[in-house]
Amino acid sequence: MQRLIDAFFNSVRAFRKLAVSEKAFQQELMLLVLALPLGWFVSVSWRGYALLVGAVLLLIMVEVLNTGIEAACDAFSREFNVDIQLAKDCGSLAVLISVVIVAGVWGIAIIERITGLPI
């Protein structure tokens, strides 16, 4: 049980640090704050709502992992290194893919709401 408690406090510490210092994380938190009520009006079902909010949470999760990769790389070396650049670029690509997923899920849900036809 102590491990779970420690993990919780580690997670809270990371959340606070990212919420204060990482602009992308702050923007994605604002997106989540907007998605929670907006998703309720856009979705046509509980499953749809869960998918809309879940897509935004997926984006936030990938951003957190990307930030962790960048922090680990910076802790190892701040000098240019091809392998470190690849690691950072891959993290950035993962965030971009997550953004595309969010845009696709929300786009389909909005079209479904407007047309009234399930896609």
CATH of the domain at 81: 1.10.287.3610
Instruction: Compute CA 4 distance to the chain's CA centroid, rounded to the nearest angstrom.
Output: 23
Q: Above 70 in pLDDT, residue 119?
A: no
Examine residue 5 and state whether it is found in any structural domain, yes or no.
no
For residue 94, being part of any structural domain is answered with yes
pTM of this structure: 0.91
Residue 79: phi, psi to the nearest 5? -75, 155
Would residue 14 count as lying in a domain? no
Tokens standing for residue 72: 């680990």
- The answer to whether residues 63 and 95 touch, using CB atoms and an 8 Å cutoff, is yes
Residue 71 lies in a domain: yes
| Domain span including residue 54 | 23-115
Q: Catalytic one among 39, 63, 66, 98?
A: 63
Residue positions forming the annotated binding site for ATP: 3, 22, 70, 88-89
For residue 6, being part of any structural domain is answered with no
**What does the pLDDT look like over 7-62, one tens digit per residue?**
999 999 999 999 999 999 999 999 999 999 999 999 989 999 999 999 999 999 99
pLDDT beyond 80 at 118:
no
- Where residue 116 falls (left for φ over 0; alpha for ψ -120 to 50; beta otherwise) is left
Mean pLDDT to the nearest integer, 84-103: 97
Q: What is the pLDDT of residue 117?
A: 82
Report if residue 100 sits inside a domain: yes
Average pLDDT along the chain: 96
Q: Does residue 42 sit within a domain?
A: yes
**Residue 80 and residue 26 in contact, taking contact as beta carbons nearer than 8 Å:** no
Annotated binding-site residues for substrate read 3, 24-28, 63, 92
- Give the number of domains in the chain: 1
